[in-house]
Structure 1
Amino acid sequence: MKKIILIIAFFAIINGIVYADPYSIFFNGRDFRSPPQLDSYNYDAQSYNIKIDIYFQEQLIFGENDIAIVTQESPFDSLYLDFAEEMTVDSIVGPNLSFTHENGKLKLYFDSSYTEDETLNFNIYYHGDPSSVSDSGLSFAFHSGSEIVSTLSEPTGAKSWFPLKDVPYDKVISHVTVTAPDTLFAVSNGVLDSVKYHSGRATYYWNEQYPIAPYLISIAVTNYSNFAEMYYFNDGDSIPLIYYVYPEDYNKARIDFSNIPRMLDFYNSYFGKYPFAEEKYGMAEFTWRPSMEHQTITSISYRMITGNHDYDYVFAHELAHQWWGDLVTCGTWKDIWLNEGFATYSDAMYHQYEYGDSAFQKRMSDFKHYYFIDDSTVRYTVYNPLYMWRATVYEKGAWLLNMLRGVVGNSVFKEILANYREQYAFSSAVSQDFIDVCESTCGSDLSWFFTEWLYKAGYPEYEIAFKSVGDSSGKFKTEISVIQNQDTSINTPYVFEMPITFRLYSNNNDTTVQFFDSLRADTFSVYTSDSIISVVFDPDSLILKTVNYKPWGVSNPIIVNRIAEIRMHYRSGNIYFEGIGQEKYTYSIFDLSGREITKGTIVKGKIGQLKLIQGFYFLKLNNNQSNNYFKFVVLR
């Protein structure tokens, strides 16, 4: 999650009602940047021992970072670190060296030359006001009159408060020591080893023993109240769940955070045991607008503590990041979907676990809806996205995983996640790594799938028509026409190759059939003992798509007008209209084969005494100026 620069609200207006994307809370307050390009480095960072001394009134920190590296080239006589030029480097202690500091780079020149695979240590002492840095990862703020210092460094804000190799793939062992007034409590990653008090100040020693991506290193310092509970794994192990909140939000937080154990139950069962089980899972309230999945200590925006469980989906999303983002981290920012798409889909999967299939379908439907809004604004790919923090990465990324699950099956999908975790735990992965795991696990080439959904943009726009005709033997042949009409001008596939499913309904029963669609236009045939009266495409909603049904043989699609100002209702053989005023309208009703059933004129906003058998129908409404099309179903 990310940075306070620009606030944009995503919304749709349907019949005058504004629908805001609940997931925009992850985007609002972040800059909508494209992925930062990663520089090349000639060393492997091993550990950071960061010491921060905070002076709130002066908005000043004095810092030290004791860095250990391993050289990766020979000869080796220089390196550079990322560190904001607004900060001042006071001195560097270590091998004989000199340094320059400009343009966000701290470059070290060693008097001696080293060979590959040598370990070097050096201490960098510095001071300054991180909040003066553009794209700062540290803020000084207040809540209810109390001071708070907190960090949110993703993707490149860490350089504002400590010098580092600022890439997501190079994980380190991290120790963070924070000194602040003794009226405040300092929270960081890992385990609190000790606290020392001296002259009205307190020093907190935090130790993160697991490898951590540098953007996940965090501090949060204020007058926290805290509460805790123990969580027990199935194997008998346990960890503390510790929650650090503002005193004024304590009672609300106890309500809001009460479902965290249930979320852990599901994630442990599906993703494997919580990856930092020797330490803790914590949540710390802070003043940034979004929340952030800092390793072992999720930072939660104060806006999300309401006492009403309004943001359980955020808590589920951030907790899932402990697996997908923290344990396995995206190797480059081009692969950010491996963090955000996974965590977003985990939110939907948790809803399925906790509230059932209908809740899952509602979640995925919402994701689709808000992705379509984003896509209508600007179309871009999930991989190497034009914007990192928008619905294409989050919600389309979640849909990509849902479609993958549909293609390979639930058990294989679960096995894919297990293998992906095992191969890249406490490390990083790029998209091709994940694809390789998918293919090796299921034993199939999935390049067709990832090419169209990950590396290309958009989604299929289907037109479906059918006809069912009997023969002399009493059998019925149903032909189903499938056409893809998506615009291919913006890196969108000409054809989305996908397994497609239809549910065919007769008066007596229903039948489900599946085909593999690989053409822009194709026709599939099914033979049944009964006449098919209606066809439903993708009945389980496994494809991110739009669908327009049309009568058989109509060259241009009938667009079903779902958001027209005119609204219709079918009840007990009568059709009632709202919004047609005093204008004269004629109507025609067709079945899905394109056969006109009846026609006439609207009388007092009503079509009466229709005798229709069970099935789907189209209604065309005309006022001599324009047509409105509706689709409706008759059930018996």
Structure 2
Amino acid sequence: MSIRIFFIILAVIWGECLPAQTSFTRRDSLKGSLRPERAYNVMHYTINLKVDPSSKSLEGSVEMEFIPLQAMQRLQIDLASNMELSAVRDGRKLLKFTREFGAVFIDVDYKEGSREKLVISYRGKPAQAKTPPWDGGFIWKTDEQGNAWVGVSCQGPGASIWWPCKDHLSDEPDEGIALNLTLPENMMGISNGQLVGVDQPEQAGWKTWHWKVSYPINTYNVSIYAGDYVHFQDSYTAGDSSKLALNYYVLRGNEEKAKSHFRQVGPMLACYEKYFGKYPFWNDGYALVEAPYLGMEHQSAVAYGNGYQRGYLGGRIPEEFNFDYIIIHESGHEYFGNALSVGDNADLWLHEGLTTYLEAIYVECMYGKKASLRYLESQRSSIRNAHPLVGPRGVHFTAYPDSDIYYKGSWVLQTLRFALKNDASWFKLLRAFYEANRYRIVDTDQWKRFVDEFTGKDFGPFFEQYLHRTEIPAVELKTDTSGHRTRIYYRLVNAVEGLELPVEISLDGRTIQLDATTREKNIEFSRAFKSVKAVNAQALVRCEP
């Protein structure tokens, strides 16, 4: 999800909240920690949901199939406290449950390793998003013709604001989901994955849309869209000549401009395939769905609300580039965030930093490396260095006060690329990390270990500096010019012990690279330079005068 512009407002709101976030509550722990009551592995969800736009309400049931990882007498699922939980059944047996905040504790008797199924019935009026997609919730709107238009986005608060589930990033259903969406018959219902059928329920005036996801999926990526949509298709041919279905759902009247605007999808997918392989959810297809909010990386049904404009709402990206930021960024999350996912919000920089850097890779693919560096430079002004990139663990931490997990995360990756001094090796590293963890859960420590093992080097000081501290290292230069000779003394300051980085030095406009550490080094040239200065075009360092 992209949030740069809106962070001006959120920084104020979250800034007021941060002191409270230094001591976390039981509510935070119930949502964010893997307690014994969560010691089970979800295999599949079937969501049966009726959405009534006139009353802004939901009613339905969720079938959760899972395998206990130990003997269990008490099991936790999650559902927002404002939603009514009608019943929990195991087969025909009605189970007792208690509620605490958003947690639901169910009395069970399960053996380790058995496959079980619970059916949870619920109803209610879900939280409404005031500023979607940033605050999360349902969006009840009307289109320009006055037709009902419904969506939901819930990355921050989690999926349990609108359907009961094990609401923890670490557990994606191994076998995917089925979602049966019942709506007024004049609305089209769209969800993740493949449409497998549409039928008319017994109650007149309603229609049910049956969707199926065949891959693991983040619960916050499960979504629905409902409105007066028009569906059209295209296809993408991969390098191995296989074809991927491209499904586009846009509001009636937007078909022609969408057909023109969405032509950029094919070249984008080709770039991503070049560096990371084929689109990861091939069997479910790729879809863009016009949404009543800016955008979101809903797996195989990417939310699109950028108004068919270049950049971000018509601006933000450098003028030399002509692409839709929301399409490029949110689709990039299919690789980093959806196929490769983190298990705790503490590691969200991996989702957002990798995907934001993927924008620069797209630019490099389309326009060249120099253009990519110019694109990266446009991100630099958004970096605040106010908090470490890795957040608190086990407490469902969402109060990041700025966009550093995006832009600093991107620049940390670029700096690592520069430190490797080998672009071919860098892209092999990224692809190998992705392929080793596709459809899996990862964390920051796994990333660090992978980099060290792949390169055969110890990047511990690098990651300590850039992931766990706020300070950015600076290049300190001193010069001694005597006659026709110049001696340059250089080192890294404001840096952790053991940090090593190549640095760029401009000598009368000609740039050279030197390997710097926290210990002062020097080099002599048989020439008197008028201008000697550090530059940082390829790394996240400060340049001391």
Per the TM superposition, whether the score is higher than 0.5 is: yes
**Distance apart, 1:241 and its partner CA:** 1.2
The one of 83, 90, 112 equivalent to 2:86 is 90
- Report the residue type matching 2:191 in the other structure: S
Corresponding residue number in structure 2 for 1:196? 199
CA distance in 2, matches of 1:136, 1:432: 29
**Distance apart, 1:149 and its partner CA:** 1.7
- Report the residue type matching 1:140 in the other structure: W
Q: Decide whether aligned partners of structure 1 residues 23 and 352 sit closer, same or farther in structure 2, where only a CA change above 3 A counts.
A: farther
Alignment of 1:46-445 (within 5 A): 46-74=43-71, 76-94=72-90, 96=93, 97-110=95-108, 113-131=109-127, 137-144=137-144, 145-172=146-173, 173-198=176-201, 199-288=204-293, 290-301=294-305, 303-306=306-309, 310=314, 312-371=324-383, 374-375=384-385, 379-384=386-391, 387-388=399-400, 390-408=402-420, 409-445=422-458
Q: Decide whether aligned partners of structure 1 residues 480 and 133 sit closer, same or farther in structure 2, where only a CA change above 3 A counts.
A: closer
Corresponding residue number in structure 2 for 1:566? none
Contact in 2 for aligned 1:498/1:518 (Cα 8 Å): no
Larger mean CA deviation between 495-504 and 61-70 belongs to 495-504
- Report the residue type matching 2:335 in the other structure: W
- Report the residue type matching 2:105 in the other structure: K
Partner of 1:130: helix, strand, or coil?
coil
Corresponding residue number in structure 2 for 1:577? none
Contact in 1 for aligned 2:491/2:518 (Cα 8 Å): no
Q: Decide whether aligned partners of structure 1 residues 27 and 285 sit closer, same or farther in structure 2, where only a CA change above 3 A counts.
A: farther
Contact in 1 for aligned 2:329/2:359 (Cα 8 Å): yes
The one of 493, 500, 503 equivalent to 2:503 is 500
CA distance in 2, matches of 1:262, 1:446: 35
* Structure 1 spans left out of the alignment, 5+ residues: 3-21, 471-475, 487-491, 550-636
**Distance apart, 1:511 and its partner CA:** 7.0
CA distance in 1, matches of 2:10, 2:329: 18
Encode CA deviations 1:500-559: one digit per residue, 9 max, x unaligned. Answer: 2334349xxx5734222223xx2411344x4434334246x122133243xxxxxxxxxx
The structure carrying a bigger strand percent of its residues is 1
Larger mean CA deviation between 400-409 and 123-132 belongs to 123-132
CA distance in 1, matches of 2:186, 2:9: 32
Q: Decide whether aligned partners of structure 1 residues 136 and 346 sit closer, same or farther in structure 2, where only a CA change above 3 A counts.
A: closer
Corresponding residue number in structure 1 for 2:24? none
CA distance in 2, matches of 1:524, 1:406: 21
CA distance in 2, matches of 1:152, 1:219: 9
Contact in 1 for aligned 2:192/2:299 (Cα 8 Å): yes
Larger mean CA deviation between 26-35 and 48-57 belongs to 26-35
The structure carrying a bigger helix percent of its residues is 2
Corresponding residue number in structure 1 for 2:486? 478
CA distance in 2, matches of 1:136, 1:279: 25
CA distance in 2, matches of 1:513, 1:308: 34
- Aligned residue pairs, count: 503
CA distance in 1, matches of 2:178, 2:434: 25
- Report the residue type matching 1:502 in the other structure: I
**Distance apart, 1:389 and its partner CA:** 6.6
Q: Decide whether aligned partners of structure 1 residues 133 and 104 sit closer, same or farther in structure 2, where only a CA change above 3 A counts.
A: farther
Corresponding residue number in structure 1 for 2:542? 546
Contact in 2 for aligned 1:27/1:389 (Cα 8 Å): no
Corresponding residue number in structure 2 for 1:489? none
Q: Does 1:515 align with 2:520?
A: no
CA distance in 2, matches of 1:92, 1:511: 68
- Report the residue type matching 1:152 in the other structure: S
CA distance in 2, matches of 1:178, 1:424: 32
CA distance in 2, matches of 1:122, 1:481: 68
TM-score w.r.t. structure 1 length?
Answer: 0.74
Encode CA deviations 1:40-95: one digit per residue, 9 max, x unaligned. Answer: 22211111100111111111111110001111122x11201110121112222215
CA distance in 2, matches of 1:330, 1:388: 16
Encode CA deviations 1:390-425: one digit per residue, 9 max, x unaligned. Answer: 321110000000011111221222122222122211
Corresponding residue number in structure 2 for 1:23? 4
Contact in 2 for aligned 1:255/1:308 (Cα 8 Å): no
Corresponding residue number in structure 2 for 1:459? 472
CA distance in 2, matches of 1:362, 1:101: 52
| Higher RCO structure (Cα 8 Å, ≥6 apart) | 2
CA distance in 2, matches of 1:56, 1:329: 32
- Report the residue type matching 2:270 in the other structure: D
CA distance in 2, matches of 1:205, 1:90: 23
Encode CA deviations 1:340-395: one digit per residue, 9 max, x unaligned. Answer: 01111111121122123343222211111121xx34xxx11111178437321110
The one of 430, 446, 451 equivalent to 2:459 is 446
**Distance apart, 1:191 and its partner CA:** 0.6
Alignment of 1:592-607 (within 5 A): none
- Report the residue type matching 1:438 in the other structure: V
**Distance apart, 1:462 and its partner CA:** 3.5
Contact in 2 for aligned 1:171/1:213 (Cα 8 Å): yes
CA distance in 2, matches of 1:449, 1:331: 23
Alignment of 1:561-572 (within 5 A): none
Q: Decide whether aligned partners of structure 1 residues 23 and 257 sit closer, same or farther in structure 2, where only a CA change above 3 A counts.
A: farther
CA distance in 2, matches of 1:23, 1:69: 38
CA distance in 2, matches of 1:546, 1:454: 16
CA distance in 1, matches of 2:511, 2:64: 65
RMSD: 2.7
Contact in 1 for aligned 2:297/2:333 (Cα 8 Å): yes
CA distance in 1, matches of 2:77, 2:505: 57
- Report the residue type matching 2:477 in the other structure: I
Q: Decide whether aligned partners of structure 1 residues 133 and 162 sit closer, same or farther in structure 2, where only a CA change above 3 A counts.
A: farther
TM-score w.r.t. structure 2 length?
Answer: 0.85
CA distance in 1, matches of 2:214, 2:147: 31
Alignment of 1:607-626 (within 5 A): none
Larger mean CA deviation between 76-85 and 22-31 belongs to 22-31
**Distance apart, 1:158 and its partner CA:** 1.1
CA distance in 1, matches of 2:401, 2:243: 35
**Distance apart, 1:126 and its partner CA:** 1.1
Sequence identity percentage: 24
Contact in 1 for aligned 2:492/2:517 (Cα 8 Å): no
Corresponding residue number in structure 2 for 1:526? 524
- Report the residue type matching 2:539 in the other structure: I
- Report the residue type matching 2:250 in the other structure: V
